Amino acid sequence: MLIGLSALSFSFRCGLVGRGTPRAAASPLGVDAIIALAVRAGLHSVELPLTMLSDLAPSRLVALRERLLASGLALVLDADVADVGMLETVIPVAATLGVRVLRVLASPVIEGTRAAFTTDWEAYLAEVIARLRAVRPLAEHHGVILTIENHQDLTADDLLHIVTEVGGPCIGVTFDPVNALLVAEDPFTVLHRLAPYVRNVHLADYVAYPSHEGWRLVRCALGEGDLNLRRLLVLLAALAPDTTGHIELVSHTARHIRLFTDAWWHGYPARDIRTVLPALREFAAPPRSRDDDWRTPWERGAAEEQIARYEDQQFASSLNYLRSIGVLTRP
């Protein structure tokens, strides 16, 4: 598996966390800095949110493409929630940049709280499918693959429904194993089901802390958390060997999955409890208590230099872990 860097691993230092508030990073990292980080680490690609590209003029896009080529890096671009107008603009931008994979979202839902977003999830998914069908010819014309992420909102059934209904070679999946847990699904089972459609992977880990309503999932360096990453990487090598995995240590806010509340489950169809047990076992295994301090430096109100150091240390530790298990070689 080829390994890349998602800029969202440095979401604070890139100015995305706390944007527009006094707590935002004083001198945010730009695209050039993320490219330099990836090159120094010996990585093969970068994944950038569209919001980091401040100038979409063709000449600037071509210059960025040439910079990436000279650095030996491929590019994955992150768009927002699927919208016809947005995608009609972004797909040609992606093509100009030489992007093959454009990650999109199905909804703004986080922490699996679907019922708070809509009372008719199936009807909403039908709208998303219609939007993706509308831009399918444009994506195919430019050779850009739209990959829907399981972004704390979509189950494996949802993703399979979307890719099947949209159809064609330019629809796929961005798979995030931690996000599978946030809809109470086992990431390894989900990967088995989605593998034929996976075109991009977010490599993340987490530490789970119990709460009265469920569990909080907190970011951590790869290999330092509760996810069995060795098993995941073995599965990826077997089921999706040509997929790039991007290190994405994203959220500075703990993700709270409220599995013990009735309201959380209202957003989902009835499930056999046996399909939920693997996720429950995953959460319940670590010996942590409700009294443990689960807060990230951001949530504790730490100073900018402490939060920046937190991101730097987690990235460095993640690289060391991937090198130690032979997934990544030293540059």
Report pLDDT for 34.
97
Instruction: State phi, psi for 55 to the nearest 5 degrees.
Output: -125, 115
Residue 236 clears pLDDT 90, i.e. is over it = yes
Q: Domain segments of the chain: what residues?
A: 2-324
Mean pLDDT value of segment 66-86:
97
Q: Could you give the strand order of the β-sheet that contains 206-210, starting from the edge strand earlier in sequence?
A: 206-210, 215-219, 255-257
Residue 331 clears pLDDT 80, i.e. is over it = no
Residue 251 clears pLDDT 80, i.e. is over it = yes
Query: How far is residue 263's CA from residue 48's CA, in Å, rounded to a whole number?
Result: 34
- Note whether 327 and 43 are within 8 A (CB): no
pLDDT, tens digit (0-9, with 9 covering 90-100), for 215-234? 999 999 999 999 999 999 99
The fold of 2-324 is TIM Barrel (3.20.20)
Mean pLDDT value of segment 286-298:
92
Mean pLDDT value of segment 48-59:
93
Beta strand 255-257 with 215-219: parallel, antiparallel or unpaired?
A: antiparallel
Calculate ∠ Cα 177-278-276, nearest 5°.
95
pLDDT, tens digit (0-9, with 9 covering 90-100), for 295-314? 999 999 999 999 999 999 99
Report pLDDT for 286.
81
Nearest CA-CA partner of 75 in 33, 55, 41, 103: 103
- Give me the residues paired with residue 207 across strands: 218
Confidence category of residue 329, pLDDT binned at 50, 70, 90: confident
Note the pTM of the prediction, 2 decimals. 0.95
% pLDDT > 90, the chain: 93
DSSP E strands in 158-197: the ranges are: 171-175
pLDDT, tens digit (0-9, with 9 covering 90-100), for 81-127? 999 999 999 999 999 999 999 999 999 999 999 999 999 999 999 99
Confidence category of residue 287, pLDDT binned at 50, 70, 90: confident
- Note whether 46 and 35 are within 8 A (CB): yes
